[in-house]
Amino acid sequence: MKFANGFWVTQKGYDTKFASQPYEITTTENSITVLATTAVIENRGMTLQGPILEITYSSTCEDTIKVHIVHYKGGLDNSPQYELNEDFNFKPIINDSEESIELISGNTKVVITKGTSWSVQFYYKEKHLTGGSWRATSYVTETQFMADAKKELNKDNDFFDYPYNGNTAYVREQLKTDIGECIYGFGEKFTPFVKNGQTVEIWNSDGGTCTDQSYKSIPFYISSKSYGILVNSSDKVSFEVMSDTVSRVSFTVPGEELEYFIIGGENLEGVLENYTTLTGKPALPPAYSFGLWLSTSFTTSYDEDTINSFIDGMAERDIPLQVFHFDCFWMKEFEWCNFEWDTRQFPNPPAMLKRLHDKGLEVCVWINSYVGQRSKLFDIGKENGYFIKNLDGGVYQTDAWQPGMAIVDFTNPAACDWYKGLLRQLFEMGVNNIKTDFGERIPTKCKYFNGMDPVKMHNYYTYLYNKCVFEALEEYFGKDKACLFARSATVGGHKFPVHWGGDCYAEYSAMAETVRGGLSLCSSGFGFFSHDIGGFEATAPADVYKRWCAFGLMSTHSRLHGSSSYRVPWNFDEESCDVLRFYTKLKGKLMPYLWAQAIKTHEVGVPMMRSMVIAFSNDPACRYLDAQYMLGDNLLIAPVMNEEGLAEFYVPEGTWYDIVTNDVYEGGRYYSRKCNYFEMPILARPNSIITCGEFATNNVVYDYLNNAEATIYNLEDGKTATATIYDSEANKLTDITATRSGNGITVSYASTDKTFTVAVAGTDKKVVAVAGSTSVSIEL
């Protein structure tokens, strides 16, 4: 939100007061509070009028500084609160001197200068991260001119839009950026990956992948200088990323208070580890979820014969399939959601689901949090108060999606129990997964059961929605066995994986949008990411479909899904079957590596799919890369996104090997490579071990160690590389550790009854680690 007209003048309609002097500083054993005046106090008469700001600096989590700014503190306590893992007994170090006072949390600290000028600076160890000085922290009020103008503009606003609700005050913070500093994140943003120069509004919307709107808006960003900022508000937080004042990131919250956390780390992976310590680690999706998912698509016509033709067609073509998804029309039209199968198409659902399970498939079904008036559940929800209400107390209804639909009120515990009960009936029938669509189209002129501010509930709603569904899955199937496919999210939503990228077109530009959106989302604490292979809207040419298959199978989760046409490969051309088979089997073979990386994401919080700058924070060339990524620690993926078949990518330092073609790439360079449909660059990082399993049964749940092959890639003299192998239940089997000394490599591992092979890339060296042994040696 821009308040400035240039640097010196405030826009017409606003009045801005800046924190100018730390007039009084008080401390407790774990906090510093600064009474900030908006003018330098030169005499007692200047204390007779405000505004003043009370700013408290504390820490409730190591390497995290919490900043709370308040003007008036007498407002209603009706704002939903993100579920944060704060330790209010945590005690940072406070050092007080004549010139300044500082609060230290782990390696992260804030330094507040005393005197008559405003300066607040943040550091990690001795490295300066960011800070505010003159004309930074501010309190902004609207003049009557602006209030009248906004009221006129918003008198006919849509229920889903951010309303003008009488707010006439804002708290704003501005933090300095350095020369060459880049900003990333804010959730799933399809705009350019580096957010410098952009205005970012945190407001969930159903806007597709080709706009600046977001299904998953997260008031959190990371910097190439290795720190993160979380604004602790579910309201419409507005960020000006070097777009208002070009050397600062500004963020504004309506009302009288603003709270944010600054999170330090050794590098960006460390920042995200600390962020997810605060906001929660991603759950571990079950191993089967990493296989290929196939959907009915959205508005297509289908019954059991149709879906069997898809499933049998995949089997006949030797394309491994793990999950089958039923989209909206598994339920009768106009009755979404009633949680009942349309028996005109599926006369005996339990028997059908058993037949699917007998084919080795898991089953997913689509839902949303809306109940159409034609649903038999509408009257039940109305009678029991399970729906969001209008201001007059009646049920809020709209025709925008399902005729007369109501919206489940997840602030009502009884409504949550009711909803879980409906899901449990599906689980008992044989459904394994839930696709939680929507959650963005949430009204702002309404009432909730718990009395929360409806404007601030707009973004927060999706958290309660997906939490309810995830809990139902976890309660029924058990921990590490729950998996949903969610479209909307807010802070903390990453705890309930998996999330997919929304409605994209079947063209290369949308494929690039999807990559950018996924990288931005995974820069915001989300560990797992998927998308509609081939694009959602329209039908892709075979060329786009084949390239998207390669990208989709080298994403953490892989789903074929579309809108008005089926996404089975033979509908495109026969080569599409070959391409899909090739990459599906490659992913299946990579499961020992991918599963270990998924467990690390779950335990540590570092995203499994991550941008190059997250993986290589100290490489300036990686700061702007938005068309390639790392899949786990050790695989670089460069999707081909053009008709020419060109992969254009950068390789960091070291010698990298393509695990498919065995081509070698020396790092520190950019490459342009012509690729056929089976040659998307998949490069192994130097000094790494990539373990491929014996993917013999076309099921991604198998023995990840027996008959596996652990390939050592460019292990340098004096270096050590390790690959951890788990079973499909996430029990650790062994660490395979390779150490090179001169021309010899020693490989050690725990004794096991399994037999596997150790190979060295770029050579013919290969040895068998037999059952019962604990080491092998390789001479180069």
Query: For 716, phi and psi rounded to 5 degrees?
Result: -85, 155
At 668 the three-state DSSP class reads: coil
Distances (CA, A) of 27 to 96, 102, 751: 10, 11, 56
How many other C-beta atoms can be found within 10 angstroms of the C-beta atom of residue 315?
Answer: 14
**Strand-pair partners of 610:** 630
Q: 473 with 482: CB under 8 angstroms?
A: yes
Distances (CA, A) of 592 to 369, 553, 713, 758: 36, 15, 16, 14
At 32 the three-state DSSP class reads: strand
Strands (E), 84-126: 93-96, 100-105, 108-113, 120-124
Of 188, 235, 256, 503, the active-site residue reads 503
CA gap 241, 244 in Å, rounded: 7
At 646 the three-state DSSP class reads: strand
CA gap 671, 664 in Å, rounded: 12
Angle at 176 between CA 175 and CA 179, to 5 degrees: 150
Q: 209 with 501: CB under 8 angstroms?
A: yes
CA gap 350, 364 in Å, rounded: 14
CA gap 219, 490 in Å, rounded: 8
Whether 440 is a known active-site residue: answer: yes
Look-up: residue for tokens 């925008």? 400
Look at residues 408, 403, 429, 435 and name the one whose alpha carbon lies nearest to residue 298: 435
Look at residues 727, 713, 725, 704 and name the one whose alpha carbon lies nearest to residue 763: 713
CA gap 623, 526 in Å, rounded: 19
Q: 189 with 216: CB under 8 angstroms?
A: no
Look-up: residue for tokens 């330790």? 87
At 726 the three-state DSSP class reads: strand
Whether 619 is a known active-site residue: answer: no
Whether 266 is a known active-site residue: answer: no
Of 235, 437, 507, 658, the active-site residue reads 437
Distances (CA, A) of 669 to 182, 651, 665, 762: 21, 6, 9, 20
Of 269, 362, 440, 507, the active-site residue reads 440
CA gap 749, 531 in Å, rounded: 37
Enzyme catalytic residues: 437, 440, 503
